[in-house]
């Protein structure tokens, strides 16, 4: 009788996939709860989500994202033992950018197109308030974005588990155990949550802009907001931060725009420092408050919009 030896990375996948399955179940429960307890908002959200999911863009982003992550997995970086760090930072960046692009695109098209095509006027002529319309649109966009995030994220976490074993074999090191592979993946979870929090903020801003702007100006402004949200803290901390005018302008931008640098994990990965869950909790509170404020601005802009 020969004992069946299960590779360590496959054992780690069992732990990871259980967590992913639980996340999918919670996601489905949240969607069903919205439809049950908020029927009008849930109806708008469900229609918006189906429109976003059946667009070719969602399929393209999913396939391209999976292909890019797989390419990073098998690509030899020749970084003298730092391949896993580079793979983690690149994978997180890909998931974040793809999810953010889908959020901005879906938010821009679902509201701007309906306003231009007078579809929103027909929907609001029914007993549906503008508040429920905006909130439903936001939830619908986030359903599509969350699904993309879960697909790419689950594949990425499994790839990181396999990358630990793959690099050990390539460098003739001892093959890590399943617990060691899972420990590396577990340290990634705060970064995944931070990337998702950044995405929900960008989606809320895109919803606010789409109440007044069409698709192309919305995408342009979102690109500027994304760049400023990441570089303003760097400018303040650099030598340029010693100039009073630079500090004044940077503080104004930071007060209005989100500080997206708070949701970045790349520096922690490079310095081999774990991101504490307490920090993730504060970041979630900041993201929640900013989304509420942004949606409130969206309602103010949409209330004054002449749909006719």
pLDDT at residue 189, as a whole number: 86
Task: Judge contact between 138 and 297, C-beta under 8 A.
Answer: no
Q: How far is CA 159 from CA 148, 154, 162, 189, 191, in A?
A: 17, 9, 5, 14, 15
Among the listed residues 21, 13, 6, the one whose alpha carbon sits nearest the alpha carbon of residue 185? 13
Task: Judge contact between 250 and 235, C-beta under 8 A.
Answer: yes
pLDDT at residue 65, as a whole number: 92
Distance CA 90, CA 110 (A): 30
Low-confidence ranges of the chain (pLDDT < 50): 1-6, 9
Phi-psi region of 184 (alpha: psi -120 to 50; beta: other; left: phi over 0): alpha
The DSSP element (H or E) to which 201 belongs, if any, is: helix 178-210
Distance CA 177, CA 32 (A): 39
pLDDT at residue 78, as a whole number: 59
pLDDT at residue 1, as a whole number: 36
Its pTM stands at 0.84
pLDDT at residue 10, as a whole number: 57
Among the listed residues 235, 70, 60, 204, the one whose alpha carbon sits nearest the alpha carbon of residue 141? 204
């Amino acid at each position: 009788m020969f004992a069946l030896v299960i590779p360590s990375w496959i054992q780690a996948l069992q732990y990871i996939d259980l967590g992913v399955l639980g996340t999918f179940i919670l996601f489905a429960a949240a969607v069903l709860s919205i439809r049950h307890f908020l029927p009008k908002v849930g109806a708008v959200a469900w229609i918006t989500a189906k429109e976003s999911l059946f667009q070719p863009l969602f399929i393209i982003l999913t396939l391209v994202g999976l292909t890019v992550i797989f390419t990073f997995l098998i690509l030899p970086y020749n970084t003298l033992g730092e391949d896993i760090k580079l793979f983690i930072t690149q994978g997180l960046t890909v998931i974040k950018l793809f999810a953010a692009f889908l959020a901005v695109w879906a938010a821009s098209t679902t509201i701007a197109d309906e306003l231009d095509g007078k579809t929103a006027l027909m929907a609001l002529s029914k007993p549906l308030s503008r508040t429920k319309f905006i909130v439903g649109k936001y939830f619908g966009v986030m359903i599509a974005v969350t699904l993309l995030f879960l697909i790419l994220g689950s594949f990425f976490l499994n790839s990181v588990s396999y990358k630990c074993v793959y690099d050990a074999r390539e460098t003739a090191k001892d093959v890590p155990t399943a617990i060691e592979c899972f420990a590396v993946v577990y340290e990634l979870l705060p970064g995944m949550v931070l990337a998702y929090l950044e995405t929900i903020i960008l989606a809320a801003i895109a919803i606010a802009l789409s109440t007044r702007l069409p698709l192309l100006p919305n995408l342009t402004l979102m690109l500027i907001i994304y760049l400023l949200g990441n570089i303003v803290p760097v400018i303040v901390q650099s030598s340029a931060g010693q100039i009073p005018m630079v500090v004044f302008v940077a503080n104004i931008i930071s007060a209005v725009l989100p500080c997206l640098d708070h949701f970045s994990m790349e520096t922690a990965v490079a310095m081999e420092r774990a991101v504490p869950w307490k920090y993730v909790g504060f970041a979630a509170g900041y993201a929640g408050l900013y989304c509420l404020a942004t949606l409130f601005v969206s309602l103010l802009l949409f209330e004054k919009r002449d749909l006719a």
